[in-house]
Chains A and B, each alone.
Chain A
Amino acid sequence: MSTRVDRTAGVVGTGLTKRYRGTVAVDGVDLEVSGGVVGLLGPNGAGKSTVLRMAATVLAPDSGSLSLLGLDPSHHDERVEIRRRLGYLPQDPGLYPGFTPFDLVDYVAVLKELTDPGRRRDEVRRVLEEVDLADVMHKKIRKLSGGMRQRVALAAAMVGRPDLLVLDEPASGLDPEQRLRLRSLLSAAPTVLMSTHDTSEVAALCHRVVVLLAGMVVFDGTPGDLAELARGRVWEDDRQDPDAFRSWQTAEGAWRHLGEPPPAAGLVDPTLDDGYLLLARGTHR
């Protein structure tokens, strides 16, 4: 097999399975991502981070086949080649508190084999400017806010203009303005696979969403398709409906219900939340 990266190949996984001490974390996942921003959506423990760790070459699947950027990550040389063209943001990126953002991203660039000091310095400045950290690039990380630290880690993932970005909850800790900035950053990347448990992030960032429940893919489509799953099963009323499988009060004070609507119910347009909640409760048939 050639060790040349295919920039457009993205992630192709078939039957990916991973167990931890007998517990199945990921169960026969098929995933194909080539271009655009694809969101993995699911509750805590659904297996999102495990799938991302496999897609980032950090974890090997117990079974199934995986191809990244057209290469096989189970072979050492090909894995190194993939890693040269891959950016990874883990869910809990530990940082060195005594480093500055510049130092940290520079170190990541060194490990990513950007050997020319001048070009490396330019690249580090570029990514830090892209995540809006130019003003604090020489301030100690321990003095930065949580959102800024998240952006430092994001900048580290983006060093070298990777062809494949694997991001575990990238918008965590970001304010609305930074989320908007993230949106434009991600739209410029060739292929992005990201996880979230926030449907508003999916709506804002992703052109495609894959819902994982208990380690299995239960939905794969556009955010609009996910919302449409709940069409005809969402209604609003001025009081709680005990027969609805899920009811909650909206900011306007009305009660919103999910489930089998009673006759003459005031059906409303479904949202992404509605479609996801229906899937998550296993009531969608």
Chain B
Amino acid sequence: MTAAALAPAWVRPTARALPTAPLLGAAVAVVGLATARLLVDGFTSAPPGLLEALLAGTVVAALHDPAADLLAASPTGRLHRHAHRLWLVLPLALALWVLPTAAGDLVDSTGWPTGPVVALTATGVALALLLPGPSGVTLGSAVTLAWGAATFVVPPEDAGLLLPWLHHPWLHCAAVAAVLGLTLPRRRR
């Protein structure tokens, strides 16, 4: 039996329904910058915050579903369909982030940390899940991009407070998970 036959029936149509242009754009940006960093300093410097934001924003954008209204009364609800999309996109995004930086290990550096990009992605995804309709996805993407870009303007002495996703990423993830845990059960429609 082929892998396609074994895959759940939703995998293929969900994958085809994903917006491919932002995903490809983010892939090119991450791989391109990672390659440049590898060549210049062997990943010894931190990635620009905007790159993390770009990847996180792209994951959130993958939740945009032009047929959401048509599918709104489906027994497979909105959160379930979002979960399908994340199930497909998150491994890709993580691989996109980890694989180029794994190359950094070959040149004896620690590579780029995964915590900040995970924390920023969690923030955007949470907003997309909590707010109804397309506004949630738009706001989720916008917040991740803006918060990532804020690394350029926030003074170093305030960064610990204003950029928790960068300086305390796993604590940030725990806070996001707690908010989701408390609010999502009431937003299952």
Asked whether, in the complex, the Cβ of B13 is within 8 Å of the Cβ of A113, the reply is no
Number of A-B contacts (CB under 8 A): 81
Verify B73–A93 contact, CB threshold 8 A: no
- Whether A88 contacts B73 in the complex (CB less than 8 A), given A60-B189, A103-B16, A106-B13, comes out as yes
Do residues A76 and B70 form an inter-chain contact, with CB atoms below 8 A? no
Known: A103-B13, A107-B17, A117-B9. A83 touches B74 (CB 8 A): yes
Is B182 among interface residues, defined by CB-CB distance under 8 A? no
Contact B16 A111 (CB under 8 A): no
Whether B69 and A112, one on each chain, are in contact in the complex, defined by CB atoms closer than 8 angstroms, is: no
| Cα–Cα distance between A99 and B73 once the two chains are bound (Å) | 20
Determine the residue in chain B with the shortest Cβ distance to A166: B73
Q: Which residue of B16, B68, B72, B73 has the most chain A CB atoms within 10 A of its CB atom?
A: B73
* B160 within 8 Å of A (CB atoms): no
In the complex, the answer to whether B66 meets A94 with C-beta atoms within 8 Å is yes
Interface residues on A, range: 35 or more
Q: How far is the CA of A115 from the CA of B75 in the complex (A)?
A: 13
Q: Which of B71-102 contact A (CB under 8 A)?
A: 71-77, 81
Q: Which residue of B is nearest A60, CB measured?
A: B189
Contacts of A24 in B (CB 8 A): none
Q: Chain B's interface: helix, strand, loop or mixed, by majority?
A: loop
> Does B188 make an interface contact (CB < 8 A)?
yes
Q: Are B189 and A113 in contact (CB under 8 A)?
A: no
Residues of B within 8 A of A (CB-CB), count: 22
Complex: A94 Cα to B66 Cα, angstroms: 5
Q: Which residues on the A side are within 8 Å of B9 (C-beta)?
A: 110, 115, 117, 120
B73 — which chain A residues lie within 8 A by C-beta? 56-58, 83, 86-88, 166
Taking a contact as CB atoms under 8 Å apart, the answer to whether A57 and B189 are in contact is yes
Instruction: Report the bound CA distance from A111 to B9 in whole Å.
Output: 9
Inter-chain CA distance A69–B88, complex, in Å, is 35
- Rounded to whole angstroms, the CA-CA distance of A80 and B77 in the bound complex is 8
Cβ proximity bits A116-135 to B, threshold 8 Å, 1 near / 0 not: 01001000000000000000
Contact B75–A88 (Cβ < 8 Å): no
B66, chain A: closest CB distance, angstroms: 4
* Known contacts A56-B72, A112-B76; 4 further A-B pairs (Cβ under 8 A): A58-B73, A86-B73, A99-B17, A117-B9
- Interface CB pairs A-B, < 8 A, 8: A57-B189, A76-B188, A88-B70, A92-B69, A93-B69, A96-B66, A96-B67, A115-B9
Q: Which 10 A-B pairs have the closest CB atoms?
A: A88-B73, A107-B13, A94-B66, A90-B69, A111-B76, A83-B75, A93-B70, A111-B74, A56-B73, A58-B72
